[in-house]
Amino acid sequence: MAAGVLPRVRQVLRSPRLVSAVFSCHGQTFSSAAAAPDTAATEKILNFPLTQPDYFHLSELFTIKDLFEARVHLGHKKGCRHRLMEPYLFGSRLDTDIIDLEQTAEHLQRALNFTAHVAYRGGIILFVSRRRQFGHLIETTARECGEYAHTRYWKGGLLTNASIQYSPGVRLPDLILFFSTLNNVFQQHVGIRDAAKMNIPTMGIVDSNCNPSLITYPVPGNDDTPVAMEMYCRLFKMTINRAKDKRRQMELLKGISASV
Amino acid sequence: MAASGCRGVRSILWKYGSCGKNFCLSRSKTVPQLPVRQICVSSSLWKKNLAAAGPQKFTQEFIDKQVEEFEIGKRHLANMMGEDPETFTQEDIDRSIAYLFPSGLFEKRARPVMKHPDEIFPKQTAVQWDAEGRPFHFLFYTGRQSYYSLLHDVYEKILAMERHQDKMRNKGLFASETKQILLTGSRWQLKEEIEEYLVENISDHGYMRLIQLLEKLLSMPYCSLEEDFILKFRKQLEVQSSKHEIPALQHDPQGVAFSVADGRRKTAKASITLRDSGSGNITINGRNYLHCFPLLQDREQLMFPLHFVGMLGRFDVEGSVEGSGHSAQAGALRLAISRALLSFVSEGEVERMRQAGLLTADPRIRERKKPGQEGARKKFTWKKR
């Protein structure tokens, strides 16, 4: 039980620090939510969720059995294995790498928790993937959450040269979710490096042939099977909707208590 | 001088610094080593990079002010011209400006103009995000939101159609010979037209991809469900024969039907009156055509339109022609006869005549002689040395 408490405590210590660090070193003007809160109520709304380990109760969204049934544990063959993915692998069976679902569950919980907090604070979330098979699914998921998607050809300076690519004064995404970290030529997606350059936290579903180094919240898992992708999309959509609903609820309560 | 002075200061400080090292460590803190930086003084730093700024951007307030000034100016102009300010249209404005500021400039665009600011200032894309900075469109970060959202919608329709097909198959109501969309007489919109529709630039590859997706949608059995959507991307081709102006059929006091038409070829101008009297005479410039055109080729040109529609002996041709040579005059007369015939002939015959080339004016004119050459194309004798 003590062993179980410790990672949760570490999680608590990690998330507020990281969140505050992210919002302070993200050079662009950030959301009004993160700007200097004027009243104690707004401060409470923003800071109280950070004190809880699982404020949005995301651990009830999935179990290891669900991950197994969605074939999340299936990796690529031994020849495609990336050196840096070896700690996340449980083993290999008939040359196929098997991803350790206990580690996946931990990482996924952390990633979902971070996503929920970002969505709660009104951050912009960008869904990225370069797999043509799932492009439409990801765009639909993003639209249903009220967030943004980019499943097309990534132009060079989208993040690094944003004021010229779009208009001056554009707000960059606060979190980028990579549903597949490779592009169509099996190289690492340019967005990972660019997000790291622009201090934007990233989440990535890393398969056994991907490089998890630059990603802030890697989630080792299968990114080739439709069942697995549908599950990830469903989980992230539910997380973001839950977080936004919670925020709206808190704002309403604040409105009611202020009027009272 | 400043640089040398700087160096002097630096040498003094260096001496102090080196002396400072002989003392205890606390001494070195009192004389800090100032780093010497060469400050770049070239003008390229403070001059505005005009090329990089891009096209000039106008703020919404500026445009609103311009619109207000335009409205006030319009009323002043109406009062000046003594007309009613309420019913002063753009044509009236153009007329008044042309009257008040007469200009002999050939270039129409250089003349003074008074138009609504929306027509003068180029259309700029409005701000694409709300007060909190969140963009409105979910594909904003791709850079080409309209184009990609169009692809997304077309793919969505394809998927919906496949699901519909499966449902019909499950119910056993699948029919492969369903209503097809009529595509004859229309073409896919060009890349430029789609760019105008989307207000965005597309690459050639992107355009091809869009057309491929639309073709895929068309190839499915139940494509008639999305007929309206697909026809938005098809442009109707005009039927060529409907463009021809058919001269009005007039009637003599005697009741004889006749029509008048003109024709031109090179510098020859011809005018023809075709009378439905039933004799088959041809009179040019008051003389019989045999006298005007002794050459058989020219007379054949005159006959061809009547021979083509099979009404050789029906009409009386009376015409006048001037300018150019005999062959051009014959060609001008032929065109004039064909045009006059349009009022006596049916729609299908008009199309037949158009396809025979009877109604097309020959655009060839004499090419000018160029300096340094003998004629239009002939060059002077080329000498190797």
- Orientation of helix A101-120 relative to helix A226-259, angle to 10°: 40
Residue B333 contacts residue B284 (beta carbons within 8 Å): yes
pLDDT at residue A18, rounded to an integer? 44
Place of tokens 């000046």: B80
Chosen for mutation from B130, B142, B210 (greatest number of chain A CBs closer than 10 Å) is B142
Q: What is the DSSP string of A112-165?
A: HHHHHHHHHTT--EEEE---TTTHHHHHHHHHHHT-EEE-S---TTTTTTHHHH
Instruction: Note whether residue A47 is domain-resident.
Output: no
A169: domain CATH number?
3.40.50.10490
A170 touches chain B (CB under 8 A): yes
Interface of chain B toward chain A, CB-CB under 8 angstroms: 127-129, 132-135, 138-144, 148, 152, 155-156, 159
Cα B156 to Cα B162: distance, rounded to the nearest angstrom: 10
pLDDT-wise least confident of A20-29, A154-163, A238-247, B344-353: A20-29
pLDDT at residue A131, rounded to an integer? 95
Residue B264 tokens, joined:
């031109």
All structural domains of chain B with their residue ranges = 61-120, 145-236, 250-356
Q: Is the pLDDT of residue A63 over 90?
A: yes
Residues of B in contact with A149 (CB under 8 A): 138-139, 141
Residues of B in contact with A136 (CB under 8 A): 152, 155-156, 159
pLDDT at residue B302, rounded to an integer? 92
- Among the partner residues B141, B143, B156, nearest to A148 by beta-carbon distance: B141
Residue B33 tokens, joined:
């080593």
Q: Do B139 and A148 touch (CB under 8 A)?
A: yes
pLDDT at residue B30, rounded to an integer? 61
Residues of B in contact with A170 (CB under 8 A): 129, 133
Chosen for mutation from A167, A177, A198 (greatest number of chain B CBs closer than 10 Å) is A167
Q: Is the pLDDT of residue A7 over 70?
A: no
Return phi, psi of residue B151, to 5°. -60, -40
Give, in degrees to the nearest 5, the angle at Cα A40 between A39 and A42: 70
Say how many residues make up chain A.
260
Q: Is the pLDDT of residue B94 over 60?
A: yes
Q: Do B128 and A150 touch (CB under 8 A)?
A: no
Q: What is the mean pLDDT of chain A?
A: 86
Cα distances (angstroms) measured from residue A235 to each of A240, A245, B78:
9, 15, 66
Give the residue on B whose Cα is nearest the Cα of A167: B127
Q: Do B141 and A29 touch (CB under 8 A)?
A: no
Residue B255 contacts residue B241 (beta carbons within 8 Å): no
Chosen for mutation from B141, B142, B145 (greatest number of chain A CBs closer than 10 Å) is B141
Cα A189 to Cα B357: distance, rounded to the nearest angstrom: 60
- Among the partner residues A149, A158, A170, nearest to B138 by beta-carbon distance: A149
Cα A255 to Cα A259: distance, rounded to the nearest angstrom: 6
Residues of B in contact with A121 (CB under 8 A): none
B208: left (phi over 0), alpha (psi -120 to 50) or beta: alpha
* Span A107-126, average pLDDT: 96
Instruction: Note whether residue A40 is domain-resident.
Output: no
Give the residue on A whose Cα is nearest the Cα of B147: A152
Cα B142 to Cα A173: distance, rounded to the nearest angstrom: 12
Residue A7 tokens, joined:
């990672």
Tell me the nearest-neighbour CA distance from A149 into chain B, angstroms: 6
Tell me the nearest-neighbour CA distance from B53 into chain A, angstroms: 10
Q: Do A165 and B152 touch (CB under 8 A)?
A: no
Chosen for mutation from A26, A28, A136, A174 (greatest number of chain B CBs closer than 10 Å) is A136
Q: Do A32 and B143 touch (CB under 8 A)?
A: no
Q: Do A139 and B139 touch (CB under 8 A)?
A: yes
Residue B85 tokens, joined:
């300010």
Q: Do B134 and A155 touch (CB under 8 A)?
A: no
| CB neighbour burial string for B166-180, b if at least 16 within 10 angstroms, e if fewer | eeeeeeeeeeeeeee
pLDDT-wise least confident of A4-18, B176-190, B194-208, B371-385: A4-18
Cα B73 to Cα B100: distance, rounded to the nearest angstrom: 14
pLDDT at residue B236, rounded to an integer? 87
Q: Is the pLDDT of residue A222 over 90?
A: yes
- Tell me which residue of A123, A129, A215 sits closest to A175, measured CA to CA: A123
Q: What is the mean pLDDT of chain B?
A: 86
Q: Do B143 and A158 touch (CB under 8 A)?
A: yes
Q: Is the pLDDT of residue B227 over 50?
A: yes
- Tell me which residue of B255, B250, B265, B347 sits closest to B298, measured CA to CA: B265
* Span A117-121, average pLDDT: 95
Q: Which CATH class is domain B250-356?
A: alpha beta
Residue B344 tokens, joined:
């006596």
Residue B111 tokens, joined:
């003349």
Q: Do B141 and A136 touch (CB under 8 A)?
A: no
Give, in degrees to the nearest 5, the angle at Cα B283 between B277 and B288: 125
pLDDT at residue A10, rounded to an integer? 44
Residues of A in contact with B156 (CB under 8 A): 136, 140
Contacting residues for B277 by C-beta, under 8 A, at least 6 apart = B256, B315, B316
Residue B158 contacts residue B217 (beta carbons within 8 Å): yes
Residue A132 contacts residue A139 (beta carbons within 8 Å): no
Q: Do A148 and B138 touch (CB under 8 A)?
A: yes
Tell me the nearest-neighbour CA distance from A171 into chain B, angstroms: 6
- Tell me which residue of B141, B134, B142, B129 sits closest to A119, measured CA to CA: B134
**Residue-wise pLDDT tens digits, B245-293:** 889 899 989 989 999 999 999 999 999 999 988 888 899 999 999 999 9
* Span A168-188, average pLDDT: 93
pLDDT at residue B2, rounded to an integer? 46
A167 touches chain B (CB under 8 A): yes
Contacting residues for B161 by C-beta, under 8 A, at least 6 apart = B217, B220, B222, B223, B225, B226
pTM: 0.67
Pairing of strands B186-188, A217-220: unpaired
Cα B143 to Cα A166: distance, rounded to the nearest angstrom: 7
Cα B70 to Cα B114: distance, rounded to the nearest angstrom: 8
- Tell me which residue of A257, A250, A260, A255 sits closest to A44, measured CA to CA: A250
Residue A68 contacts residue A34 (beta carbons within 8 Å): no
- Among the partner residues B129, B134, B142, nearest to A152 by beta-carbon distance: B142
Return phi, psi of residue A254, to 5°. -65, -40
Q: Do A171 and B141 touch (CB under 8 A)?
A: no
- Tell me which residue of B145, B168, B164, B167 sits closest to B156, measured CA to CA: B164
Q: Do B133 and A171 touch (CB under 8 A)?
A: yes
Instruction: Note whether residue A65 is domain-resident.
Output: yes
Q: Do B127 and A170 touch (CB under 8 A)?
A: no
Strands (DSSP E) found in chain B: 186-188, 234-236, 250-251, 257-265, 268-275, 282-284, 287-288, 316-322
Residues of B in contact with A31 (CB under 8 A): 132-133
Rg of the Cα atoms in chain B:
39
Number of separate domains in chain A: 1
Q: Is the pLDDT of residue B28 over 80?
A: no
Cα A19 to Cα A199: distance, rounded to the nearest angstrom: 12
Cα A181 to Cα A205: distance, rounded to the nearest angstrom: 7
Residues of A in contact with B129 (CB under 8 A): 170-171
Instruction: Note whether residue A38 is domain-resident.
Output: no
Q: How confident is the model at residue B56 (pLDDT cuts 50, 70, 90)?
A: confident
A29 touches chain B (CB under 8 A): yes
Residue A34 tokens, joined:
């993160």
Q: Is the pLDDT of residue B148 over 70?
A: yes
Cα A219 to Cα A111: distance, rounded to the nearest angstrom: 7
In which domain, by residue range, is A78 found?
58-252
With a CB-CB cutoff of 8 Å, which residues 115-144 of chain A face chain B? 122, 124, 126, 136, 139-140, 142-143
Measure the CA dihedral A28/A31/A33/A38, to 10°: 60
Give, in degrees to the nearest 5, the angle at Cα B338 between B336 and B343: 105
Q: Is the pLDDT of residue B15 over 90?
A: no
Cα distances (angstroms) measured from residue A5 to each of A58, A106, B340:
17, 13, 100
